[in-house]
Amino acid sequence: MSDLIKLSLKATRDGLKNKDFSAVEITDSYLSEIEKSNSKLNAYISVEAEQARVMAKASDVKLAKGQGGALEGVPLGIKDLFSTKGTHTQAGSHILDGFKPEYESSITTNLWNDGAVMLGKLNMDEFAMGSSNETSYYGAVVNPWRAKGSNKDLVPGGSSGGSAAAVSAWLCAGATATDTGGSIRQPAAFTGTVGIKPTYGRCSRWGVVAFASSLDQAGPITRTVEDSALMLNSMAGFDKKDSTSVDISVPDFATAVERGVKGLTIGIPKEYRMEGMPQEIETLWQQGMAWLKDEGAIIKDISLPNTKYALPAYYIVAPAEASSNLARYDGVKYGLRVAGGSIDEMYENTRAKGFGAEVQRRVLIGTYVLSAGYYDAYYVKAQKVRTLIKRDFEQVFADGIDAILTPATPSAAFGVNDQEMKEDPVKMYLNDIFTVTVNMAGLPAIAVPAGKDGSGLPLALQIIGKPFDEETLFAAGRVIERSANIDFTPKKWW
Amino acid sequence: MSLVDTRTPDPKKFIKGATGDWEMVIGLEIHAQVTSESKLFSGSSTEFGQPPNSNVSFVDAAMPGMLPTINEECVRQAVRTGLGLKAKINNRSIFDRKNYFYPDLPQGYQISQFKDPIVGEGVVKLDMGKDGEVEIGIERLHLEQDAGKSIHDLHPNMSLIDLNRSGVALMEIVSKPDIRSSEEARSFIAKIRTILRYLGTCDGNMEQGSLRADINVSVRAPGGEFGTRCEIKNVNSMRFAVAAIEYEARRQIDILEDGGTIDQETRLFDSKSGKTRSMRSKEEAHDYRYFPDPDLLPLEFDDEFVAELAKNLPELPDEKHDRFVNDYKITPYDASVLISSRINADFFENVAKGRDGKLAANWVINEFFGRLAKEDLSVANSPINAQQLGSIIDLISGGDISGKIAKDLFEIVWVEGGEPAKIVEERGMKQVSDTGAIEKIIEEIIAANPEQVAKVKEKPQLAGWFVGQVMKASQGKANPQAVNKILKEKLGL
């Protein structure tokens, strides 16, 4: 294995600028590592070697002239949810069979404009619906991490499981991901990587296949906090093609990373102390508070009373939007078409064959909650809950809280094909218990690896910020990262 | 929407049934295509008649990850229309998704406005001739996307889809159930179309589908409780609207008089048979699962935005009508004929300005519009312009030509073109008012027809024969008033 791929995104970028190595060189290193590892990890659905080399060569030309963008020559993996012109874009689904868009998402356009190189498209839960990356039509992604002394395959979390696994296993310098209910932060937590879900409206949704439009937000998964800051700098920005994108300037996130937490008031919400939560999660949380306090932050207990309604309300709002967003996959225009004797039969056959079980479940839930007679009881009520959740946060921020510290997940990574979760989808949904509130409120939140459980698996803390205050998250995240000072490199078994 | 009966039952409009009189209650939903360069949520062109699927963007085809962005011109057009309908403009409105599956609906939902439309209640006045003026309430106007077009007859076992129309902006204008006859319904559609055309917010071409109506019809005992309604979908001509309403009302009356009940359902009008037939029952009705479109923010604008549009609004048909009656002293009936379209009204005004309004109205309506209709032409492609017609009228008013000669002159100008005054001069069409010349002709005729002279002394009404002879001799150019006067003197009548 070439050591180049073990460099952080920052070190990669600087090395390329200093001409320590070329973009083609590091791209080839990643491509050969992908070739060796992907059959075991299944992180990439599609590897775009030829295109990657073309992009890398172009970067080298610029770098040679001392030109190039902020990410010039840096090889990235792109979640399959992002439209990439002329290449595999299927949202991990069978129903988009063979679909290659004629357009490029705004976020990836921003990345390529800054010089980044695309290695390929990353595996994910089908249409970003899942917390284990097992709902992908392309098969489960395997977590590079294993419990001490175990050979059992673990899930990388989801839905951005491919992104998290690829970053963790050195299959890219950083990856794009998306987060509708925790799909960036939970996989980051399960793989010892850093993931930030920016404020809703910070990154354009144009060209990102929609799951739940009012909750979807893209962000990076990287190996360090600083890398996340650098990558988000390139991804973020107002886009007039997305009406929900917010016209607000993007600060230089990288300069915030080493800012520290001195004088910041960090809230600790009591509602996140759940019954049956493993002791090691509680211990980690306490540790996090201590680290922040040691660096000069003020720790304060707070209450977010409507937290308990967040998950049930989320599982109304998200499926409702999804049921409508996924109506366009009907076999008429692109992707899979399974013939039938009538138009209705063609729809039924195509959608029965094209969507997996979890997607079908959510489309059915969403259709149900929007139906006449149920709309007020479910959708309208869930929207009211959403308002209350938002208000909870507004209240604590108004009371002087600068950021909120919580665990990122209720457990470490679990096994592939977990029977209990298979039998009860709600158990799977509980993975998002700490993360969905943030999507419901549109706030930014970062997951930073902070410790390991008894079997040596990574655990993470989550920091939630005020709208458009990602800078504080990078600063506080960096303090956790520095204080923990743990090497989150998985032991290579693959 | 609460149903309020705003009308007093009018026996003239009742329909006779076997068991007694019935009254129709009609409400209309008019779908008007917004005049705009590009579609409601995409930059694609709206040009009509392009090759199939040539005006289609990634958004219109509902490609994965595509997002709608509002076309501000369509918003302005909707507000202008709302102002034209004297309706409440809502500074905040919301786009909802109306979910249903159909191949020509690429998104699987239509973006529309459900609970919070851009325009609220308004009112439209109808001039029903001798029945006077009727006010029809407007319930709302909302913006929505049009669907594409399914073509079922080009392939033996497949349907073809043309998405050119997919995403084009429509305004749905919903009336209150204030209409009580098919004639009022026709008049309502015509009035809405006139207003839209005045405003330039919809071209109103029903043949091209730019304006179509869904018609809700029910019947009841005069002044009684509202009955169960049926909705006739997608009627695309005023003639069909009248026929569909007449048929549907009669159908419902027959059912009710046979002791049956009306099923609330959606029906289609077959223009060939002149009948309506069931399309889907209430039970089969779609559950559209409306919810606010999360891809779009609420549509908000301030009062200034509305004021600016109001300031630049053209004169509306009702105002123009009143002004024509006041300024040109023409009858209300003539005024309503003249204002039926803006281009016609402008033509009249160009003719009438500085001239006798009544004379101008007569000439414009009877000679000019009559001739246009006969030749299936319109003002836009008329061979005569307002200035030419104006000078013909000047020649009449100035006593240069008689009304009869003026018609000949009109014919010459229509066919050959040219400057009327010059034609009159060159072709010697000027009427002879020179009494000496007329006297001479009369004297000759009297001298040549002693028998007639004798007769007319007994029967003065025979003087007309002499007038005819004089006109003939003068090739119609003798001033008729002068002829009459001199004849009377000479014949001693």
Which residues are paired to A463 by β-bridges?
A405, A446
Residue A163: predicted pLDDT: 98
Q: Among all chains, which residue has been given the structure tokens 């930073």?
A: A448
> Nearest CB to B103: which of A323, A343, A379?
A343
> Nearest CB to A103: which of B58, B287, B295?
B58
Instruction: Say if residues A449 and A168 touch (Cβ distance below 8 Å).
Output: no
Average pLDDT over residues B314-321: 96
Q: Would the pLDDT of B284 be above 80?
A: no
Report chain A residues whose CB lies below 8 A from the CB of B70. 243
Interface check for A99 against chain B (CB to CB < 8 A): the answer is yes
Architecture of domain B435-491: Orthogonal Bundle (1.10)
Q: Among all chains, which residue has been given the structure tokens 């200034």?
A: B304
> Nearest CB to B297: which of A244, A327, A344?
A244
**Mean pLDDT across chain B:** 93
- Tokens for A339? 């013939």
The residues of A that are catalytic are: 79, 159, 183
> Nearest CB to B108: which of A242, A328, A334?
A328
Instruction: Give the sign of the dihedral formed by CA A4, CA A8, CA A11, CA A13.
Output: positive
Per-residue burial over A88-108, b if 16 or more Cβ lie within 10 Å, else e, is bbbbbbbbbeebebebbbbbb
**Structural domain boundaries in chain B:** 11-308, 312-426, 435-491
The answer to which of B161-170, B248-257, B334-343 has the lowest mean pLDDT is: B334-343
Cα-Cα-Cα-Cα torsion A329, A334, A340, A346, nearest 10 degrees, comes to: 20
Contact B65 A347 (CB under 8 A): no
Q: In this predicted model, what pLDDT tens digit does every residue of B444-460 receive, in sequence order?
A: 888 888 888 888 888 88
Q: Among all chains, which residue has been given the structure tokens 């070329």?
A: A22
Q: In this predicted model, what pLDDT tens digit does every residue of B45-75 receive, in sequence order?
A: 999 889 999 999 999 999 999 999 999 999 9
Average pLDDT over residues B414-425: 93
Separation in Å, CA of B414 to nearest CA in chain A: 55
Q: Which residues of chain A have pLDDT under 50?
A: none
Contact A324 B97 (CB under 8 A): yes
Minimum CA–CA partner of B98 in chain A: A324
Identify from A330, A344, A359, A383 which residue to disrupt to test chain B contact, counting B C-beta atoms within 10 A and taking the largest count: A330
Q: Would the pLDDT of B1 be above 70?
A: no
ipTM of this predicted structure:
0.96
> Nearest CB to B296: which of A103, A209, A243?
A243
Residue B2: predicted pLDDT: 67
Residue B390: predicted pLDDT: 96
Report chain A residues whose CB lies below 8 A from the CB of B290. 370, 375
Q: In this predicted model, what pLDDT tens digit does every residue of A400-424 receive, in sequence order?
A: 999 999 999 999 999 999 998 888 8
Instruction: Say if residues A347 and A341 touch (Cβ distance below 8 Å).
Output: no
Report chain A residues whose CB lies below 8 A from the CB of B300. none
Interface check for A109 against chain B (CB to CB < 8 A): the answer is no
Separation in Å, CA of B69 to nearest CA in chain A: 6
Interface check for B98 against chain A (CB to CB < 8 A): the answer is no
What distance, in Å, lies between the first and last C-alpha atoms of chain A?
12
Q: In this predicted model, what pLDDT tens digit does every residue of B82-101 receive, in sequence order?
A: 999 999 999 999 999 999 99
Q: How far apart are CA A403 and CA A261, in angstroms?
A: 10
Q: In this predicted model, what pLDDT tens digit does every residue of B188-214 receive, in sequence order?
A: 999 999 999 999 999 999 998 999 999
Residue B492: predicted pLDDT: 78
Minimum CA–CA partner of A328 in chain B: B107
Interface check for A246 against chain B (CB to CB < 8 A): the answer is no
Interface check for A384 against chain B (CB to CB < 8 A): the answer is no
Instruction: Give the sign of the dihedral formed by CA B49, CA B54, CA B58, CA B63.
Output: positive
Interface check for A327 against chain B (CB to CB < 8 A): the answer is yes
Residue A491: predicted pLDDT: 96
